[in-house]
């Protein structure tokens, strides 16, 4: 006989779990301010579900286990969905997915079912209602049955068509609105500078941006969408989910290109492994993989439970938030001289990586969140973004340590640290602060900038400390003998570095701009500037008004660019770089028009009818970027004869691969 706890205890535990879940739902859905990690939330829900299954007398229809999403906010008008927006059954292990597959096979009385595997975007679900080709309403998911009407806000998202050609009488497109991590960082950096509260993560930023009563605010936020399905539809025939997605893409809706259609359950398991492994290489947050039965007839045969379709499952990735203890609060000095409080953490594994540091952003954030040494905190990691402390979840039983205070002096050079009125950031006043210089060199050589492979934190510190690099252009003056003589540096690594530095001299204008480290000029703004002005001279000569005339450049950014180039030292640094052999490709780049604009290509193997240089020039002329390594933002790999390991990498992370003929067609069609 098993030792069952007394019923009152079970009931108390169930009440506690429900209360915690309701609170977490409220925080997550309505206040866009999550308090516990997704993993903790899932654990609470699983425990509650198990208890309710074991003790049905305590189950109740209004238990949070039976609810979908959040109750709509009052301030937006609400509207019922024609078809409920349900949620997905979760899977947490390959076993759960195999079980799902077996259930499907059993219900259909058939084996070898074909599936579609999609990335599960961590954003905000929306429904776009098109009547006779015109967007008439956009709704949030709300409680699944009734959503908030956010049409005006959704109309500001340029990726979402306001009308579609050859449209059926009724088409409800469903998708996930999200913000790219790189754009999120820029958004939060701007907020940081202005002393505004930071968004906890891209999902919260997207949710907050959609729930603005003033659409102008929404318009200023970099919202994007991936569409993954439909609600009610009239007059459109399709027999497969994958074909439906292709049809949506054909109508102009963004559909995630990673999607793998008509695959076996084994291939779906494989897709999950690959996407999870390369999760950090993507520029957007994802929390799992959605596996859907591909055949629409099969979907209909399987039907729905009250909460989710029986033909789909969401297989979650390992959590990216965990709790740990702040052992110490340190202060680091960044590229702009900003003093940033950093939490030294008791090491914790988050999404397969051990995290022992997390940013606390600035003094106000630490104060607002009241984070102190010894506290247990929620830490979040999202891909390449620096891990951050979200909030305190537990304070020590004994006395807490004193509140954090910003040091009065720079912890690196000892100069005065000053916080300008109205700004959130404290800065080291010393323009020659070694920490500031090291950070700018590191940024200059980093992947999104000059992309000098092998020139990382350690080497930069060595080069700066030994005085070999006193200004940016010195990087291009390093020779083999000098490098090889450095401590812990082999001949071979030295040769690789010389090679990488040499190759990096040919650079596109947006990367060059980004590399300069102008405050507020992230990779996106750099692309916009390059597209608008077309040459470095024109950008350097642009007035604040010229700059502000660009849609995506606001007054703060415009002023920052102008004052950067007004500073004689900066102009000199640019001249020195050009004198040291940096060559900027100044073809006009159109970031918004043309199908190849903003796309990243990697070439591998020999091309027959073009030299690599010609291919590169042709692509760049159309606004595309040619990169040397397959990673993160690669859109296409062009595989010629005898392609190298780049092809393997592309295939392994699911980057689209095209051949020379495909490239030719793209160049012609663009």
| Interface with ligand IVH (CB under 6 A), residue from 117, 290, 313, 602 | 290
- For helices 568-579 and 555-566, what crossing angle results, to 10°? 70
Nearer to ligand IVH, 287 or 439 (CB): 287
Q: Where does residue 465 rank: exposed (0-12), middle (13-18), buried (19+ CB within 10 A)?
A: exposed
Of 35, 34, 66, 210, the C-alpha closest to 143 is 66
- CB 6, min distance to ligand IVH, A: 35
Contact 26, 36 (CB under 8 A): no
Q: In this structure, what token pair is assigned to residue 213?
A: 């009563």
Nearer to ligand IVH, 86 or 268 (CB): 86
Nearer to ligand IVH, 248 or 417 (CB): 248
Nearer to ligand IVH, 118 or 365 (CB): 118
DSSP conformation class of 610: S
Q: Give, in order, the Cα–Cα distances in Å from 370 to each of 363, 367, 400, 657.
A: 10, 5, 11, 49
Q: Whole-angstrom Cα distance, residue 20 to residue 44? A: 8
| Interface with ligand IVH (CB under 6 A), residue from 17, 86, 269, 355 | 86
- CB 311, min distance to ligand IVH, A: 9
| Interface with ligand IVH (CB under 6 A), residue from 25, 87, 215, 493 | 87
| Interface with ligand IVH (CB under 6 A), residue from 114, 125, 345, 390 | 125
Nearer to ligand IVH, 141 or 427 (CB): 141
Contact 21, 67 (CB under 8 A): no
| Interface with ligand IVH (CB under 6 A), residue from 142, 229, 319, 531 | 229
| Interface with ligand IVH (CB under 6 A), residue from 231, 309, 319, 640 | 309
Please tell me whether residue 309 adopts helix, strand or coil conformation: strand
Q: Whole-angstrom Cα distance, residue 640 to residue 637? A: 10
- CB 248, min distance to ligand IVH, A: 12
Q: Give, in order, the Cα–Cα distances in Å from 658 to each of 242, 270, 601, 642.
A: 20, 22, 10, 14
Contact 17, 44 (CB under 8 A): yes
Q: Whole-angstrom Cα distance, residue 379 to residue 323? A: 6
Q: Whole-angstrom Cα distance, residue 579 to residue 396? A: 58
| Interface with ligand IVH (CB under 6 A), residue from 28, 199, 228, 437 | 228
Tell me which residues are annotated as active site: 120
- CB 352, min distance to ligand IVH, A: 21
Interface with ligand IVH in residues 135-164 (CB under 6 A): 141
DSSP string computed for 360-397: --SHHHHHHHT--TT-EEEEEEETTEEEEEEEEEE--S
| Interface with ligand IVH (CB under 6 A), residue from 91, 121, 244, 637 | 121
Q: Whole-angstrom Cα distance, residue 232 to residue 136? A: 14
- CB 281, min distance to ligand IVH, A: 18
- CB 619, min distance to ligand IVH, A: 30
Q: In this structure, what token pair is assigned to residue 630?
A: 């397959």
Of 405, 311, 387, the C-alpha closest to 351 is 387
User: Any idea which residue has 């891209």 for tokens?
Assistant: 202
By CB under 6 A, is residue 224 in contact with ligand IVH? no
By CB under 6 A, is residue 120 in contact with ligand IVH? yes
Nearer to ligand IVH, 76 or 228 (CB): 228
| Interface with ligand IVH (CB under 6 A), residue from 312, 473, 553, 637 | 312
DSSP conformation class of 641: B
Pick the stretch among 27-35, 119-127, 468-476, 589-597 that binds ligand IVH (CB under 6 A): 119-127
Nearer to ligand IVH, 69 or 640 (CB): 69
Pick the stretch among 85-93, 149-157, 242-250, 476-484 that binds ligand IVH (CB under 6 A): 85-93
- CB 229, min distance to ligand IVH, A: 5
Pick the stretch among 198-206, 307-315, 334-342, 435-443 that binds ligand IVH (CB under 6 A): 307-315
Nearer to ligand IVH, 303 or 456 (CB): 303
By CB under 6 A, is residue 315 in contact with ligand IVH? no
Q: In this structure, what token pair is assigned to residue 226?
A: 């991936």
Pick the stretch among 306-314, 429-437, 459-467, 551-559 that binds ligand IVH (CB under 6 A): 306-314
- CB 256, min distance to ligand IVH, A: 7
Q: In this structure, what token pair is assigned to residue 466?
A: 């030994």
Q: Give, in order, the Cα–Cα distances in Å from 269 to each of 56, 98, 190, 192, 255.
A: 34, 9, 40, 40, 21
Q: Which residues contact 401 (CB under 8 A, 6 or more apart)?
A: 372, 373, 374
Nearest residue to ligand IVH, scored by beta-carbon proximity: 125
Number of residues that bind ligand IVH (CB under 6 A): 15
Nearer to ligand IVH, 144 or 522 (CB): 144
By CB under 6 A, is residue 282 in contact with ligand IVH? no
Pick the stretch among 1-9, 105-113, 117-125, 277-285 that binds ligand IVH (CB under 6 A): 117-125
- For helices 202-210 and 181-194, what crossing angle results, to 10°? 70
By CB under 6 A, is residue 118 in contact with ligand IVH? yes
Pick the stretch among 84-92, 382-390, 494-502, 566-574 that binds ligand IVH (CB under 6 A): 84-92
Q: Which residues contact 583 (CB under 8 A, 6 or more apart)?
A: 505, 506, 507
Q: Which residues contact 361 (CB under 8 A, 6 or more apart)?
A: 192, 198, 340, 341, 388
Interface with ligand IVH in residues 162-181 (CB under 6 A): 176
Nearer to ligand IVH, 312 or 475 (CB): 312
Query: In this structure, is the dihedral angle defined by the CA atoms of residues 594, 595, 597 and 601, taken in order, positive or negative?
Result: negative
- CB 233, min distance to ligand IVH, A: 14
- CB 309, min distance to ligand IVH, A: 5
By CB under 6 A, is residue 636 in contact with ligand IVH? no
Q: In this structure, what token pair is assigned to residue 381?
A: 């990691």
CB atoms < 10 A from the CB of 152, how many?
14
By CB under 6 A, is residue 128 in contact with ligand IVH? no
The residues that touch ligand IVH, with contacts defined as CB under 6 A, are 86-88, 118, 120-121, 125, 141, 176, 228-229, 290, 309, 312, 314
């Amino acid at each position: 006989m098993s030792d069952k706890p007394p019923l009152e205890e079970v009931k108390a535990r169930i009440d506690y779990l429900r209360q915690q879940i309701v609170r977490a739902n409220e925080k997550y859905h309505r206040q866009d301010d999550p308090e516990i990690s997704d993993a903790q939330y899932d654990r609470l829900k699983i425990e509650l579900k198990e208890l309710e299954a074991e003790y049905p007398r305590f189950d109740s229809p209004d238990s949070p286990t039976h609810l979908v999403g959040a109750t709509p906010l009052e301030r937006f008008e609400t509207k019922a969905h024609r078809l409920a927006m349900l949620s997905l059954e979760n899977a947490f292990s390959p076993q759960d997915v195999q079980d799902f597959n077996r259930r499907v096979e059993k219900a259909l009385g058939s084996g070898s079912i074909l599936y579609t595997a999609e990335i599960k975007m961590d954003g905000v679900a929306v429904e776009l209602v098109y009547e006779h080709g015109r967007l008439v309403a956009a709704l949030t998911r709300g409680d699944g049955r009734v959503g908030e009407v956010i049409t005006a806000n959704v109309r500001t998202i340029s990726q979402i068509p306001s009308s579609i050609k050859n449209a059926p009488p009724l088409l409800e497109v469903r998708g996930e609105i999200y913000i790219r991590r790189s754009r999120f960082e820029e958004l939060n950096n701007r907020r940081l500078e202005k002393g505004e509260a930071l968004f906890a993560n891209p999902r919260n930023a997207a949710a907050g941006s959609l729930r603005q009563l003033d659409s102008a605010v929404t318009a200023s936020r970099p919202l994007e969408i991936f569409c993954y399905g439909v609600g009610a539809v009239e007059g459109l025939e399709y027999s497969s989910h994958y074909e439906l997605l292709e049809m949506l893409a054909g109508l102009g809706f963004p559909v995630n290109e990673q999607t793998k259609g008509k695959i076996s359950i084994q291939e779906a398991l494989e897709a999950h492994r690959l996407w999870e492994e390369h999760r950090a290489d993507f520029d957007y947050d994802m929390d799992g993989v959605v596996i859907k039965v591909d055949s629409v007839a099969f979907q209909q045969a399987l039907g729905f439970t009250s909460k989710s379709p029986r033909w789909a499952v969401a297989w979650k990735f390992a959590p990216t938030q965990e709790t740990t203890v702040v052992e110490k609060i340190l202060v680091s000095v960044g590229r702009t001289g900003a003093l940033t409080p950093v939490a030294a953490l008791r090491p914790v594994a988050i999404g397969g990586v051990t995290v022992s540091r997390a940013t606390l952003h600035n003094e106000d954030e630490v104060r607002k969140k009241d984070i102190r040494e010894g506290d247990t905190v929620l830490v979040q990691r999202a891909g390449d973004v620096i891990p951050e402390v979200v909030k305190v979840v537990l304070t020590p039983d004994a006395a807490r340590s004193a509140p954090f205070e910003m040091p009065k002096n720079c912890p690196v050079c000892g100069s005065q640290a000053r916080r300008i009125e109205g700004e959130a950031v404290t800065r080291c006043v010393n323009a020659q602060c070694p920490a500031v210089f090291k950070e700018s060199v590191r940024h200059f050589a980093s992947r999104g900038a000059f992309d000098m492979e092998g020139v990382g934190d350690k080497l930069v510190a060595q080069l700066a400390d030994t005085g070999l690099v006193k200004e940016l252009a010195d990087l291009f003056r390093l020779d083999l003998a000098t490098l090889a003589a450095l401590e812990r540096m082999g001949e071979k690594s030295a040769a690789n570095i010389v090679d990488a530095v040499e190759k990096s001299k040919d650079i596109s204008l947006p990367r060059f701009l980004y590399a300069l480290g102008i405050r507020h000029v992230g990779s996106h703004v750099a692309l916009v500037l390059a597209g608008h002005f077309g040459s470095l001279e024109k950008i350097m000569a642009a007035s604040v008004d010229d700059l502000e005339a660009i849609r995506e450049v606001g007054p703060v950014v415009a002023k920052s660019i102008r004052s950067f180039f007004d500073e004689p030292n900066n102009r000199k640094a640019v001249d020195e770089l050009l004198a040291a052999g940096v060559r900027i490709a100044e073809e006009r780049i159109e970031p918004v028009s043309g199908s190849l604009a903003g796309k990243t290509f990697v070439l591998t193997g020999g091309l027959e009818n073009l030299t690599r240089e010609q291919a590169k020039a042709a692509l760049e002329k159309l606004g595309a970027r040619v990169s040397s390594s397959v990673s993160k933002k690669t859109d296409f790999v062009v595989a010629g004869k005898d392609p190298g390991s780049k092809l393997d990498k592309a295939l392994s992370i699911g980057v689209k691969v095209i051949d020379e003929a495909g490239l030719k067609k793209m160049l012609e069609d663009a």
